Copies of this chain bind each other. A is one copy, B any other.
Amino acid sequence: MSDFKSNMWAEEEYVDGSFIMRYRLKNTLFRGKSEFQAVEVVETEGHGKMLFNDSLAMISEKDEFIYHDMITHVPMFVHPNPKNVLVIGGGDGGTAREVLRHPGVEKCVMVEIDKMVCDACYEHIPQTSKVFDNPKLDLKYEDGVAYVKNTKEVFDVILVDSTDPIGPATPLFGEEFYKDVYNCLSEDGIVVSQGESPFFNQDMQKKLLSILKNNFEISSIYNFSNLTYPGGLWSFTFGSKKYHPVKDFKADKVLDSGMEFGYYNEEIHKAAFCLPQFMRKELKDFIKA
């Protein structure tokens, strides 16, 4: 974040530094270093407030609805009756916020390793973090990897809302973790995980999908487009014990819910699983659906 220090720009480097996205700053609201990562909240001219972890853009107020709609509502509308939901990571709160809009949810456990992220967002980005006051939310500052290994709780849906596979999130991209996720999912449970860029991280997508294929009855991947992740196109992986993400999806359930969304709808749900040819070709052997 070279120019970040000058208080002029927040910037994120990509493709080995050959491609950069820069956001003109109005203010720096928070800058800290936890035992896990650098945490920064800034206010930008064009994208509202933004959270950066280790110089990687996590969310912007302008487009966070897209990511949070798509990580949450796709599995929540495939599962017929999700009551207990686990969010791993997601320290800004946006994923838990969307989970708790579903009236059938009785409890949402959110396990975030880095309390500094939650605290900074709670102070500066209420748009995502006001959910921390919701009595149905059980917010734990713990290592998500250890949590799924040790918990006796059973979840219908698990959402892995992680940063990239560097730093504290690295174990969240490993097979051991997904075996534990499988074991604390109900017999018809679903796990959805941040699935990286189809343009830049195809090897990581193959790794994640092959873990899901080896450990779950159904493995798939779906896309969305957002503003703040480089390349625009981004993905989530989908692992499921019973329900197919498209064949078992009922559009009427979305329409009848009366819920309003910014990005998600009953057509986007199905369209998101239609992969561009370069993805279909590379990933077809890793999809079991």
Interface residues of A (CB under 8 A from B): 9, 14-24, 44-47, 63, 66, 199, 223, 225-227, 229, 231-233, 260-265, 267-268, 270-272, 274-278, 280
Contact = CB atoms under 8 A, between A and B. Distances in A.
A229 B63 CA distance: 16
Contacts of A9: 20
Contact of A22 (B19, B24, B233): B19
10 A-B pairs closest in CB distance: A232-B232, A18-B46, A18-B45, A271-B271, A271-B274, A225-B233, A15-B46, A267-B274, A20-B22, A18-B24
Contact of A261 (B14, B19, B63, B277): B277
A228 to B, nearest CB: 9
Nearest to A65: B278
A262 B278 contact: yes
The dominant DSSP class at the A interface is: loop
A199 B63 contact: yes
The copy count of this chain in the complex is 2
Contacts of A262: 276-278
A73 to B, nearest CB: 10
Contacts of A225: 223, 225, 231-233, 276
B233 A46 contact: no
Nearest to A23: B19
A276 B232 contact: no
Nearest to A9: B20
A217 to B, nearest CB: 23
Contacts of A264: 276-277
A275 B267 contact: yes
Contact of A19 (B16, B24, B66, B231): B24
Contact of A265 (B17, B44, B276): B276
A19 B18 contact: no
Contacts of A280: 265, 267
Nearest to A70: B276
Nearest to A272: B271
Pick the most buried of A9, A47, A231, A271: most chain B CB atoms within 10 A of its CB. Answer: A271
Contact of A21 (B19, B233, B265): B19
A219 to B, nearest CB: 18
